[in-house]
């Protein structure tokens, strides 16, 4: 359930930057917004580790990839979630 909530909210954050994703600055702002959101989960101790990767598609200017590498508290496995915003 937590993974679904995180995925939906990160996708909503990504959609707010949908029309600005052509520049490096916009991608950095998106990365910062997602990192801030994920830090709330880390501080609540629901997640012990989270890595956020945001990059534009090299062939399509309107597509952005968001990768979340998440480790939930009490587990040793890292879950990788890829979200595509177009």
Tell me which residues of the chain have a pLDDT lower than 70: 21-22
Give the model's pLDDT for residue 21: 55
Query: Which residue is it, tokens 């359930």?
Result: 1
Query: CB–CB of 34/66 below 8 Å?
Result: yes
pTM exceeds 0.85, yes or no? yes
Please compute, for residue 76, the number of CA atoms within 13 A of its CA located in the half-sphere on the CB side: 0
Give the model's pLDDT for residue 9: 94
């Amino acid at each position: 359930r937590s993974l679904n909530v995180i995925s939906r909210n990160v996708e909503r954050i990504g959609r707010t930057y949908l029309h600005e994703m052509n520049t490096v600055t916009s991608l950095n702002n998106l990365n910062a917004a997602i990192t801030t959101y994920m830090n709330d989960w880390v501080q609540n101790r629901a997640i012990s580790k989270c890595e956020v990767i945001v990059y534009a598609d090299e062939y399509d200017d309107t597509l952005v990839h968001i990768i979340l590498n998440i480790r939930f508290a009490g587990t040793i496995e890292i879950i990788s979630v890829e979200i595509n915003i177009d």
